[in-house]
């Protein structure tokens, strides 16, 4: 689809909508307007007494002070008045108000929720936890026009505000309680920028979900025991698997002593003072399931074997401690088991590496029929061996796919989302940024996100750059893999004269030129005869 023109241009400035922000947020009657500029209140940020020694809360306060000072040119400072300025607090500070706002600090799936309330003198951020405070501060800055679209200072938008006000009375909580966009490779200096980008855009999770492959770690923690008991391993074509040489080894789910070892191992981990909310019981990668031993004879399919072990840990180790067990559903164990699934197991369904006849949505429905209560998604926004960060080759650049799938996953009960990503921000960055918005609210209109991005990131070149992003992120984005570098260069080069007086926008255009140059070089490499590469 064509990205439509911006929906608004109030007061002739892209930041003007914040002056009327009360019209866009929340069904309740709004409190009085809190003016940021010109400041008619104290230009202070106050932390409640319970938060003054909390590192996350202190960072949130400093973040607001530093950023608003840059935006307004007015020196904001730390304050002590809980009734004036910007005030940061958590549920225990204002329990009655927290209850009315629906904040539940003791609910592991509600730790990121926060409540925003403006009045003539005070702008309150009341959160379930300090993590919620961080999100609330980033939300306030976003409403004031601050943006950080891609990692690095180049893609940070810090507007200069001469007048701004917030009028808000609402509770915010993410649609997906686990939101993870991760990468497995960084160039020097990239990782801190990526992590900052994630935090600014409210990625992360208050609930700690562990779903990574676990069998090798279990083996290493108990290597001597496993060495003495080869019967703890699955048989494949009559031969016991050996983790010292078989990467895809599996355990013998029918052995009661093996199950006891798994339960005891999980109890030790989940009982530790710093224990997280969940422990992974996801199998080692790919095959290796018992097809000729007692697990196959007594338990059956790979899914039955995986769930038998996860059930034992969930029932006997995790449930008594109020904890959860995480695992994936993919490859051999993507299909639903024949046995019931314990209610405190969280299954994340892979959207790739599926066997024939493996439909993600059908699998989710079938697993839920076996008692699965908690559903997650394991997605692949960019995977280097598949796409080499080139345009049109990865789902991370497909806005239509991301928006449609996140809505549908949510509708069928998914509340946990993790996706692999790599670089290629010139083609996938708008998708990655949109993803951060939709994981909080899958109903946020795509055209609003796109128009916001083009207007704030490119200013007078917004409409020219719309052509570039329609090529790499529009409905025809798959065709971008066949575009010539000249087609991608053209809108960027045409935009440069339009931003001669805006160095910040010029730097963004230059960054995109570098990306297109990368695509040009890699395309030449791919076309070259093998002996010339």
- Is residue 7 within a helix (H) or strand (E), and if so which, with residue range? none
Residue-wise pLDDT for 86-145, tens only, equals 999 999 999 999 999 999 999 999 999 999 999 989 999 999 999 999 999 999 999 999
pLDDT of 476 above 90: no
DSSP assigned state of 478: G
What percentage of residues in the chain have a pLDDT greater than 90?
Answer: 82
Geometric angle at alpha carbon 237, from 232 and 241, rounded to 5°? 35
What's the whole-number mean pLDDT along residues 152-162?
96
* Rounded distance between C-alpha atoms, residue 203 and residue 181, angstroms: 8
215 alpha-carbon distance from chain centroid = 26
Which pLDDT band holds residue 478 (cuts at 50, 70, 90)?
confident
pLDDT number for residue 532:
85
What percentage of the chain has pLDDT greater than the value 70?
94
Going from the C-alpha of 221 to that of each of 152, 314, 390, 519, the distances in angstroms are: 39, 19, 41, 45
CA angle centred on 147, ends 143 and 150, rounded to 5°: 150
Query: CB neighbours of 110 closer than 8 A, spacing ≥ 6?
Result: 103, 104, 128, 173, 177, 206
Q: Is the pLDDT of residue 3 over 50?
A: no
Backbone conformation region of residue 331, classed left if phi is above 0, alpha if psi is from -120 to 50, else beta: left
> What is the distance between the alpha carbons of residues 431 and 422, in angstroms, rounded to a whole number?
12
Is residue 521 predicted with pLDDT exceeding 90?
yes
pLDDT digits 0-9 by tens, 323-352 = 999 999 988 999 999 999 999 999 999 998
Instruction: Check whether 12 has a pLDDT greater than 90.
Output: no
Rg (CA), the chain: 26
- With 90 as the cut, is the pLDDT of residue 286 above it? no
> Could you give the CA distance from residue 285 to residue 153 in angstroms, rounded to a whole number?
38
pLDDT category at 6 given cuts 50, 70, 90 is: very low
In the block, residue with structure tokens 């080499």: 388
Cβ proximity of 405 and 361 under 8 Å = no
**What's the whole-number mean pLDDT along residues 150-163?**
95
Higher pLDDT, 198 or 23: 198
pTM of the model: 0.90
Q: Which pair of structure tokens corresponds to residue 495?
A: 């935009």
pLDDT of 377 > 80? The answer is yes
Ordered alpha helix ranges (H), 314-383: 360-369
**Residue 231 pLDDT > 50, yes or no?**
yes
What pLDDT was estimated at residue 503? 97
Segment 148-175 shows an average pLDDT of 95
The pLDDT of residue 354 is 83
Question: In this structure, are strands 235-236 and 239-240 parallel, antiparallel, or unpaired?
Answer: antiparallel
- CB neighbour burial string for 46-76, b if at least 16 within 10 angstroms, e if fewer: bbbeebeebeebbebbebbbebbeebbeeeb
What is the per-residue pLDDT across 380-411, written as a single tens digit (0 to 9) for each? 999 989 999 999 999 999 999 999 999 999 99
Instruction: Look at the alpha carbons of 83, 108, 365, 203 in this order and tell me if their dihedral is positive or negative.
Output: positive
**425-438 and 399-411 helices cross at what angle (nearest 10)?**
30
Q: Which two tokens stand for residue 463?
A: 């409409």
Closest residue by Cα to residue 395 from 434, 441, 356: 434
Output the average pLDDT for the chain: 91
- The arithmetic mean of pLDDT across residues 7-18, rounded, is 29
Supply the pLDDT for residue 356. Answer: 80
**Residue among 173, 170, 101, 163 at smallest CA distance from 135:** 173
Q: Quote the pLDDT of residue 311.
A: 98
Q: Tell me the pLDDT band of 9, cut-offs 50, 70 and 90.
A: very low
| pLDDT, average across residues 69-87 | 94
At 424-470, the pLDDT tens digits run 999 999 999 999 999 999 999 999 999 999 999 999 999 999 999 99
Please state which of the ranges 266-270, 279-283, 422-426 shows the lowest mean pLDDT. 422-426
Question: Could you tell me which residues come within 8 angstroms of residue 197 by beta carbon, excluding any fewer than 6 positions away?
Answer: 148, 150, 151, 152
Structure confidence by residue, pLDDT tens digits, 245-266: 988 899 999 999 999 999 999 9
Least confident interval from 274-278, 363-367, 525-529: 525-529
Tens-digit pLDDT profile for residues 19-55: 333 333 333 344 689 999 876 667 999 999 999 999 9
User: Is the predicted pLDDT of residue 11 greater than 50, yes or no?
Assistant: no
């Amino acid at each position: 689809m064509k990205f439509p023109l911006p929906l608004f241009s109030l007061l002739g400035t892209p930041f003007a909508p914040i002056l009327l922000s009360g019209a866009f947020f929340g069904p309740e009657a709004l409190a009085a307007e809190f003016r940021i500029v010109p400041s008619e209140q104290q230009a202070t940020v106050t932390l409640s007494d319970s938060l003054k020694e909390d590192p996350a809360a202190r960072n949130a306060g400093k973040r607001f002070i530093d950023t608003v000072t840059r935006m307004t040119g007015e020196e904001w400072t730390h304050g002590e008045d809980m009734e004036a300025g910007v005030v940061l607090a958590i549920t225990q500070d204002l329990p009655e108000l927290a209850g009315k706002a629906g904040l539940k600090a003791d609910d592991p799936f509600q730790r990121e929720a926060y409540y925003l309330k403006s009045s003539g003198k005070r702008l309150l951020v009341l959160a379930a936890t300090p993590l919620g405070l961080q999100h609330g501060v980033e939300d306030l800055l976003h409403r004031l026009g601050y943006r950080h679209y891609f990692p690095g200072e180049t893609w940070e938008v810090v507007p200069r505000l001469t007048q701004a006000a917030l009028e808000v009375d609402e509770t915010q909580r993410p649609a997906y309680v686990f939101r993870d966009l991760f990468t497995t490779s960084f160039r020097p200096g990239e990782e801190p920028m990526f992590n900052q980008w994630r935090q600014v855009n409210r990625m992360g999770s208050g609930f700690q979900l562990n779903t990574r492959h676990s069998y090798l770690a279990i083996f290493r923690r108990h290597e001597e025991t496993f060495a003495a008991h080869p019967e703890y391993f699955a048989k494949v074509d009559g031969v016991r698997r050996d983790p010292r040489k078989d990467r895809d080894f599996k355990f013998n789910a029918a052995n009661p002593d093996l199950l006891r070892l798994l339960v005891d191992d999980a109890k030790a981990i989940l009982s530790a003072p710093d224990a997280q909310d969940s422990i992974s019981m996801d199998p080692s990668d790919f095959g290796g399931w018992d097809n000729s031993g007692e697990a196959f004879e007594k338990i059956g399919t790979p899914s039955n074997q995986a769930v038998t072990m996860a059930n034992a840990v969930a029932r006997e180790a995790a449930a008594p401690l109020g904890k959860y067990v995480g695992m994936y559903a993919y490859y051999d164990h993507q299909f639903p088991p024949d046995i019931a699934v314990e209610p405190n197991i969280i299954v994340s369904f892979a959207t790739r590496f599926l066997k024939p006849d493996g439909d993600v949505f059908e699998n989710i429905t079938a697993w839920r029929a076996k008692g699965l209560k908690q559903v997650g998604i394991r997605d692949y926004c960019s995977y280097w061996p598949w796409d080499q960060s080139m345009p049109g080759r990865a789902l991370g650049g497909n806005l239509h796919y991301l928006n449609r799938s996140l809505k549908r996953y949510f509708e069928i009960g998914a509340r946990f989302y993790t996706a692999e990503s790599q670089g290629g921000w010139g083609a996938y960055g708008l998708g990655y940024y949109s993803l951060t918005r939709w994981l909080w609210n899958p109903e946020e209109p795509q055209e609003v996100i796109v128009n916001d991005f083009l207007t704030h990131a490119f200013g007078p070149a917004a409409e020219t750059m719309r052509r570039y992003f329609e090529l790499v992120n529009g409905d025809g984005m798959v065709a971008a893999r066949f575009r010539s570098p000249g087609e991608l260069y053209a809108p960027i080069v045409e935009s440069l004269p339009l931003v001669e007086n805006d160095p910040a926008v010029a730097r963004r255009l230059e960054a995109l030129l570098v990306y297109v140059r990368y695509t040009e070089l890699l395309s030449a490499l791919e076309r070259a005869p093998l002996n010339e590469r």
